[in-house]
Amino acid sequence: MQEVQKFISDNKDRFLNELMDLLKIPSVSADPRYKEDVAKTATAVSESLSKAGCDMVRIYPTEGHPIVYGEHMINPDLPTVLVYGHYDVQPPDPLDLWDSPPFEPVIRKTDKHPQGAIFARGSCDDKGQMYMHVKAFEAMIRTNALPCNVKFMIEGEEEIGSGNLGTFCKQYSEMLSCDVVLISDTSIISNDTPSITVGLRGLSYVEVEVTGPNKDLHSGVYGGAVANPAQVLCDMIASLKDESKHITIPGFYDDVAIVSGEDRKAMNQAPFDKDEYMKSLGIEETMGEKGYTILEQTSIRPTLEVNGIWGGYIGEGAKTVLPSKAFAKISMRLVPNQQSDKITQLFKKHFESIAPAGVKVVVRPHHGGEAAVTPSDTPEYRAAAMAMKEAFGKDPIPVRGGGSIPIVALFEEVLNVKTVLMGFGLDSDDIHSPNEHYGLFNYYKGIETIPYFYKYYTQLKK
Ligand code: BES
Ligand code: MN
Ligand code: MN
């Protein structure tokens, strides 16, 4: 192990420069204008896997963006770790809120990252975290320290719902067969409080369209008598939560898994400073479901959020108009036992039923995904905990996360394996936001921790 760690520290600068190069390619999966760049990134990832020491690397085209697969099999009797990650990134908009261009990575110091952080779209989510695995693998190969078989599946559609990955996993289930899936695409509590994510929320995402009059109208001539779809939409959305911030869609909570008082007590032991939380967000109070702590509201409870809302005149100055249409994009984060498709149907039925006379409502479902819980009494969890203990000098805390990685539930269904979510980002790294960044400490700590995971996992599985 000492040799692996020495190789890592001897190659720090190169590891960083290679990541910077990868961050320069704008692999925005949501926007068709970047299709070529997404493909270029897949090629770059596949080349990095070959160079690191994979003996079989392939790019699999899909109906959307390609999937990169690589493997290094040393002995079929040894355990196999499947590393999953994504090389696609979120759109960088709004561009004018970035302090430096999103695809020109630069290193700057921040309060949370006194050693510096790489500022670029995808630095933390997930190119930086994915690339730690490629470099840790390279270090193990070069020092003859790889103790088991490794497979890599790096996709290019995570940020748009992994629409083609399910089919791929089913089609290539034999090639992908493994003992555990290892993912770094989540966060730790802080740089001196390591944690392992043991749950992810599911997702149901819809777009709604409210239509009133058959054209935009003069808001003076017609206003007062004709339903204004922008206002109707606001009323309808407002009615989706009551004063306790409980969601009012009938049946919404029917399947919600109830977390025991004991488990809730345990999860609230995790360090959390509400004042610091509010200060970092520039808010004076939080707003969430009554009866639950912030940690619970953002992990074990489902929720509903408006992600975008538009309609009418939004240009310069004032225009007096009663719009014909208004729209919103609404997401619901789901918890174990809730089913994404069922929740989407419940939303659709309810939203259509509350439309007042005078408007028409259309609900269009987008992608979705199921929640996942990853148990902490397995060899893979223990190996991850031991690895983090070794690298950070502290036992990690198990934490249920609020985000979603829909493919995790699918791995369990299709490949019949559990996942370990050993992420190294911070919640404050501004993923999906302007000025996304990833700490150098976190990048190197991840590369350092991963070989320990392989070591302990192989020991525990023998
Ligand atoms: N890496 C995130 C998920 C995440 C972030 C989990 C932080 C836990 C902590 C992932 O790339 C992501 O953004 N997922 C999407 C879902 C997807 C279907 C668009 C999400 O959570 O919004
Ligand atoms: Mn991600
Ligand atoms: Mn993401």
In a domain, 341, yes or no: yes
Greatest alpha-carbon span in the chain:
80
* Strands in 87-193 per DSSP E: 106-108, 117-119, 149-155, 180-183, 187-188
387 within domain boundaries: yes
192 and 237 assigned to the same domain? no
Instruction: Residue 33: give its domain's CATH number.
Output: 3.40.630.10
Residues 127 and 219 placed together within one structural domain of the fold: no
Mean pLDDT of 33-56: 98
- 224 and 120 in a common domain: no
Q: Mind listing the pLDDT tens digit for each residue in 256-270?
A: 999 999 999 989 999
What's residue 52's pLDDT? 98
The verdict on 86 and 208 lying in the same domain is no
Same domain, 241 and 386: no
Q: Please answer whether residues 327 and 210 qualify as being in contact, where contact means their C-beta atoms are separated by less than 8 angstroms.
A: yes
Whether residue 329 is found in the same domain as residue 434: no
- Over residues 203-226, the mean pLDDT reads 98
Backbone angles phi, psi at 207, to 5 degrees: -120, 135
The radius of gyration computed from the CA coordinates of the chain, to the nearest angstrom, equals: 23
pLDDT at 303: 98
Mean pLDDT for 52-79 is: 97
Domain shared by 318 and 196, yes or no: no
| Half-sphere exposure for 379 (CA within 13 Å, toward CB) | 15
Residues 140 and 7 in one domain: yes
Q: Which structure tokens are listed for 328?
A: 């919103």
Same domain, 343 and 416: no
127 shares its domain with 58: yes
328-383 pLDDT, tens per residue?
999 999 999 999 999 999 999 999 999 999 999 999 999 899 999 998 899 999 99
Q: Give the residue, by CA position, lying nearest to ligand 1 atom 18.
A: 161
111-120 as b/e: b if 16+ CB within 10 A: ebbeebbbbb
Per annotation, catalytic residue among 18, 71, 88, 185: 88
User: Which residue's alpha carbon is nearest to atom 19 within ligand 1?
Assistant: 159
Q: Tokens 């110091």 — which residue?
A: 109
With a 6 Å cutoff on the Cβ, whether 369 touches ligand 1 is: yes
Please name the residues in contact with 318: beta carbons below 8 A apart, sequence gap of 6 or more. none
Are 270 and 400 a contacting pair, CB within 8 Å? no
Give the confidence band of 234 by pLDDT, cuts at 50, 70, 90.
Answer: very high
In a domain, 47, yes or no: yes
Domain that holds residue 161: 2-200+372-461
What is the full DSSP assignment across 239-286?
A: TTB-TT--B-STTTTTTPPPPPHHHHHHHTTS---HHHHHHHHT-SS-
Q: Summarize the confidence of residues 431-440 as an average pLDDT.
A: 98
Q: Based on the domain organization, do 359 and 377 belong to the same domain?
A: no
Burial 430-441 (b: 16+ CB within 10 A, else e): bbeebbbbbbbb
pLDDT at residue 237 tops 90: yes
Quote the pLDDT of residue 47: 98
| Mean predicted lDDT score pLDDT of the chain | 97
Q: Whose CA is nearest to atom 1 of ligand 1?
A: 185
The partner residues of 60 in beta bridges, in order of sequence, read 67
Contact call for residues 257 and 337 (beta carbons, < 8 A)? yes
- Is residue 44 one of the residues assigned to a domain? yes
Does residue 316 lie within any of the structural domains?
yes
Residue 278 maps to a domain = no
Q: Is 158 a catalytic residue?
A: yes
Q: φ, ψ for residue 200 (rounded to 5)?
A: -130, 150
* Pick from 207, 81, 230: nearest CA to 150: 81
46 phi and psi angles, rounded to 5 deg: -65, -40
Q: Is the distance from the beta carbon of residue 370 to the nearest atom of ligand 1 less than 6 Å?
A: no
The answer on pLDDT for 462 being more than 90 is no
Ligand 1: atom nearest CA of 201 is: 21
C-beta separation of 240 from 353 below 8 A:
no
Assigned domain for 185 exists? yes
Of 369, 403, 418, which residue is a domain's last? 369
The CATH number of the domain where 310 resides is what?
3.30.70.360
- Does 240 have pLDDT greater than 90? yes
Tell me if residue 357 falls in helix, strand or coil. Answer: coil
Per-residue model confidence (pLDDT) at position 367: 86
Confidence of residue 295 (pLDDT cuts 50, 70, 90): very high
Domain boundary among 369, 392, 408: 369
SS3 378: coil
353/456 same-domain check: no
Count of other CB atoms within 10 angstroms of residue 218: 10
Is residue 29 over pLDDT 90?
yes
User: Is residue 280 in some structural domain?
Assistant: no
pTM metric for this prediction: 0.95
Output the CA 184–ligand 2 centroid distance in Å: 8
Is the per-residue pLDDT at 37 higher than 90? yes
Domain-terminating residue out of 347, 369, 391: 369
Q: What are 44-53's contacts with CB under 8 Å, separation 24+?
A: 45/87, 45/130, 45/134, 45/154, 46/70, 48/18, 48/22, 48/131, 48/134, 49/134, 49/152, 49/154, 51/138, 52/134, 52/135, 52/137, 52/138, 52/141, 53/137, 53/138, 53/141, 53/142
In total, how many domains does the chain have? 2
CA 445-449-452 angle, 5° bins: 160
Q: In percent, how much of the chain has pLDDT > 70?
A: 100
Kindly state the average pLDDT of the residues 16-20: 98
Give me the sign of the Cα torsion angle 367, 27, 189, 411: positive
Single out the catalytic residue among 71, 126, 157, 158.
158
